[in-house]
Amino acid sequence: MKNLFLGLLNNGEIINDFWTTTLPILRYVLFGIVFACAIVMIVTTLMQSNDNNNGLDAFSGTTQESYYSQNKGASRDAILKRITISMAIIIFVCVILFFVSEIIAGV
């Protein structure tokens, strides 16, 4: 049975199959995606507002019930937060796939 991931030795020569030609390209693409997502994640993190009350309003009793505080999900900071989280997830998945492809190609 052919092993598509590792390639086969046939009379001392490695058979070029789909994986041995595709994995290097896949690794470059994954690295590019990680690099682009990292740049976007840095920019969106720097664009978020710096809110340092850390929940201390509950101790002091100063709560603000305004239209803005009730609709924080549609605000600019909430959108930037969602973008930052999604970029972190994409980076995580791409890094895992990158190292899996390294393991497959390295054996």
What does the pLDDT look like over 34-64, one tens digit per residue?
Answer: 999 999 999 999 998 876 555 565 566 666 6
The whole-number pLDDT of residue 21 equals 79
Q: Which long-range contacts (CB under 8 A, 24 or more apart) does 76-82 make?
A: 77/48, 77/49, 77/51, 80/44, 80/45, 80/47, 80/48, 81/48
The whole-number pLDDT of residue 12 equals 44
The whole-number pLDDT of residue 1 equals 45
Distance (Å, rounded) from C-alpha 20 to C-alpha 12? Answer: 16
Backbone angles phi, psi at 60, to 5 degrees: -85, -15
Burial readout 33-66 (b: 16 or more C-beta within 10 A, e: otherwise): bbeebeebbeebeeeeeeeeeeeeeeeeeeeeee
pLDDT score of 28 more than 80: yes
- Each residue of 61-95: pLDDT tens digit? 666 666 655 566 568 888 999 999 999 999 999 99
Distance (Å, rounded) from C-alpha 50 to C-alpha 42? Answer: 15
Mean pLDDT value of segment 8-24: 62
Q: pTM here?
A: 0.66
More confident residue, 4 or 26: 26
Q: Domain segments of the chain: what residues?
A: 30-48+56-106
